[in-house]
Structure 1
Amino acid sequence: MTKTSQYMTHNRLAQLSRCFSSVLLGFVLVACHSNTTTATRDTPASVHTTQATRILTPDWGIAAELTALGYPPIATGDLRMYEQWMGKPLPKQTIDLGIRYQPNPELIAQLNVDLVIDNFFYEHIRPMYGSVPTKSVLFKAKGDVATWQDFATATIALGQILQDAGNPQGNERVQTYLAQSQQALQQQGQQFRHRYPNIKKLAIVQFADAGHLRLYADNSLFKVTTDQLGVSLVNFHQGNKWGFSNIELAELAKLENDSCLIVIKPFSHMLQAELDKSVLWQQLGFGRERCMAIIDPVWSYGGGIASIRQFADRLSQTSLQGESVAPLNLSSRPLSNTTKPKG
């Protein structure tokens, strides 16, 4: 090969090398731009998020609290149904682990996780985490009557876990979050009492079927919410470990005139059709003579401050219906107990 040929070959290789480097740099810049754009799009403007600690939690209640504090988990379970029950979505980049109580072990093994936060409901899946540290937080009443302090204490414990994991603002954010939450609840309570001065008590239920309901009791998070709102929670029986008692439809007749029946979805069209045919339900008159409202789902099984605020938000966005509702609300369109709710 001549010197001229060698020079041309060397020059050509140099040009190809520079071209390849430029293309590679372009891919890197596009990838960085893409990641930055995604993070900006997926993060709510009102929540400052910190990615210092990569946290996994199978529990929805913990996931909601972490997100509210600005530390959304990188993965949780049953993600498809999360927003329906929790009211607010997790960031789009959150990974779905599959069923919360039976997550995908192969997927967990592939994740880069710094910390797992769960509670005793998920002890059976802890071997899947290998050597990843695991901490436990449980939001629930400590006695027969739930208090704000019960849930605040658990939230403070969560903040300490974040602090110990290398997030220096963990404790500070919790204190701010608790103060803002109480202030928001008290303001919502004032607005509710002004709007509905005749309503002093709330009976909060979910239908199991057309003849049976779950009535949430004093050991549920709804007791904390009603206390913060300045109204009473109707309680016929002591609640079970899940915070409710099972009642029959006929027991709703015991509700007093200053009470309102708050039905938490799911409340299917099939259930509504069955109630339409129920003579007892028609005689009870909820939504006509007696106060009633149907609200979107609230996560009560292990839910924390986020669920307490979620119920208050749902309630404040709903118009109570029935002749027993205060005159201030008479201009609202009446809801018959035969009217089919959306969803």
Structure 2
Amino acid sequence: MKKLLLLIITSFVLVLAACGTEDEGQSDNNNADNTSTTTETESASIVVQDMYGETEFDEVPERVVVLEWVYAEDVLALGVQPVGMADIENYHNWVNIEPELSEDVVDVGTRQQPNIEAIAELNPDVIITAGFRHEEIMDSLEEIAPTLAYNPYPGEGEGNQYEEMKTTFKEIAKLLQKEDEAAQVLSELDEVYETVNQEITDAGIENSDFVLSQAYSSDNNPVLRLFKDNAMAVQIMENIGLENVYESEGFQAYGFDSTSVEVLQNFQDANFFYIVQEEDNIFTNQLAGNPAWENLTFVEEGNTYGLPGDTWTFGGPLSAKVFAEQVKEALIQQ
């Protein structure tokens, strides 16, 4: 009888132990499932940086509004068409890249004064803009959708425009989960630089020194923008093997000084690249016959190189590719 009772008690204890083990296993599995779910949720979020800090997105934005041309270039380079964009007409006048902007993209006003109501009607998932233009309306933009603001013109000691362009391009690629595409775009840009550099070398161009100017008239007086080392255009030209010799005191956030023709006397042994509008060509109009221009070494020796009037010097990686090709064509085909 005692043996039978002992056997019953032992069996009961074993059943309880087994149940306890099973419950603990189920609890561990539940905890593992919860941990897995939490990890998946955390990994699904996208954190990107702009000039104000970090912004977190729970999913990839699909409806993108851009209020600065360079960011339109960026999303197009990544295979994304924005739903809305500022100043489309002038974008077409200046930006010469492929792929082209879709005709379905809605114009939302000017870059400086976008139409808040038009933006809101598009129900965007994100708005991308240049902070220096829209500080006063950032709150209104944020009420519509998360807004990322970047600074294409870094301050002194904050890097050059070209470095900023690449950094921002990569952040936008991260936002849109197109990082592989961005790496491919930048790799292809580097390949263009190498090819263009080699073509310039093969053409026998020995003088790599240059000065870059964008020239126009103001009250019928000739004005020359001379680009400094922090300018994106200068960085592109240096990436194809040329060397900027223009120097001046002081920092200019936009990357150029507005000055007069007399300043060029200090750099007249360089190649002179210039951008002018046909109807406002100061070199064939105001400066024609002027000794301050005509007696410069690069003028006398024919080392002046005109770039197309719509040359765009402030864009993204696709515009950088176009600009590098334009400089090469001007230099070797004259």
- Equivalents in 2 of 1:152, 1:269: separation in Å? 33
8 Å Cα contact 2:88/2:107 also seen in 1: yes
Of 282, 286, 289, 2:301 maps to 289
* Aligned: 1:217 with 2:228: yes
8 Å Cα contact 2:153/2:253 also seen in 1: no
1:300/1:277 CA distance change after superposition, 3 Å? same
1:192/1:124 CA distance change after superposition, 3 Å? farther
- Equivalents in 1 of 2:103, 2:65: separation in Å? 15
Question: Hey, what does 1:189 align to over in structure 2?
Answer: 197
Helix, strand or coil for the counterpart of 1:99?
coil
CA distances 1:92-111 after superposition (whole Å, capped 9, x unpaired)? 22222221111223322321
1:58/1:149 CA distance change after superposition, 3 Å? closer
The unaligned stretches of length 5 or more in structure 2 are 1-59
Q: Which moved more, 1:186-195 or 1:260-269?
A: 260-269
* Aligned: 1:243 with 2:251: no
Of 140, 144, 150, 1:131 maps to 144
Of 247, 252, 255, 2:264 maps to 252
**What letter is aligned with 2:242?**
V
CA distances 1:220-247 after superposition (whole Å, capped 9, x unpaired)? 1123212210110122214401111233
1:151/1:78 CA distance change after superposition, 3 Å? closer
Percent of paired sites with the same residue: 22
8 Å Cα contact 2:226/2:257 also seen in 1: yes
* Aligned: 1:59 with 2:68: yes
What is the deviation of 1:177? 1.1
- Count of aligned pairs between the two proteins: 264
Helix, strand or coil for the counterpart of 1:218?
coil
Q: 5 Å matches for 1:1-343?
A: 53-88=62-97, 89-121=100-132, 122-126=134-138, 127-128=140-141, 130-140=143-153, 143=157, 146=160, 149-163=163-177, 170-209=178-217, 210-237=221-248, 238-257=250-269, 259-266=270-277, 268-269=279-280, 271=282, 272-284=284-296, 286=298, 288-296=300-308, 297-301=310-314, 303-319=315-331, 332=334
CA distances 1:135-173 after superposition (whole Å, capped 9, x unpaired)? 23333457376386443322211211222xxxxxx1111
- Equivalents in 1 of 2:260, 2:147: separation in Å? 41
- Equivalents in 1 of 2:127, 2:83: separation in Å? 10
RMSD of the TM alignment (CA)?
2.6
8 Å Cα contact 2:226/2:259 also seen in 1: yes
The TM-score with structure 2 as length reference comes to: 0.70
Helix, strand or coil for the counterpart of 1:276?
coil
The TM-score with structure 1 as length reference comes to: 0.69
1:310/1:76 CA distance change after superposition, 3 Å? same
The structure with the larger Rg is 2
1:98/1:68 CA distance change after superposition, 3 Å? same
Question: Hey, what does 2:3 align to over in structure 1?
Answer: none
